[in-house]
Amino acid sequence: MDGRTTPTGLPRIVSNPVMGVTVEFVTAGDESDGEHVEARVSIPAGDKGPPPHFHTDFEETFTALEGTLFVDLGDRRGISLQPGEPVHVARNVRHRYYNDRAHLSDRPRPRRLRRTQQPAHPRKDTRWRQIIRSGSRGSPSEKPAGASRRHHR
């Protein structure tokens, strides 16, 4: 292993130049015995993030690392996180994160966040990397808010 891949050969850093998003997998599911995934995500100024969605089979925590991060969580909109501030997203709670210019009083800037997922799902680790590369606006286990069909694990 050369540090650029996880023990099972998944790329450690995935980016999409069109979207301007870069994800660095600090700890992948194959390194934590499936307990968690930790990633650092860089999002460009004005990025709308993924559409509102929820997960049935894992929880997430988002922590702002650089700049103000905005989160919609359940019925709450525009929650503002400053560096070091986390927000926990339980299973089945609709959410999204974004870097919205409309909420910023200063010049729009890229933002960085830490995303922790528990438990990890190796299949979804691979899928999330594919989505980032493709430029799709979503997440590997998402169920868009308002979707009528049941989400599968």
Tens digit of each residue's pLDDT (9 = 90 or more) over 70-98: 999 999 999 999 999 999 999 999 999 99
Please say whether the beta carbons of 81 and 89 come within 8 A.
no
Tens digit of each residue's pLDDT (9 = 90 or more) over 32-76: 988 999 999 999 888 888 889 999 999 999 999 998 899 999 999
Ramachandran quadrant class, 65 (left: phi over 0; alpha: psi -120 to 50; beta: rest): alpha
How far apart are alpha carbons 65 and 86 in whole angstroms? 9
- Per-domain boundaries in the chain: 13-139
> Thinking of the domain 13-139, which architecture would CATH place it in?
Sandwich (2.60)
The whole model's pTM is what?
A: 0.79
Tens digit of each residue's pLDDT (9 = 90 or more) over 125-142: 666 677 676 765 544 444
What's phi and psi for 38, nearest 5 deg? Answer: -125, 130
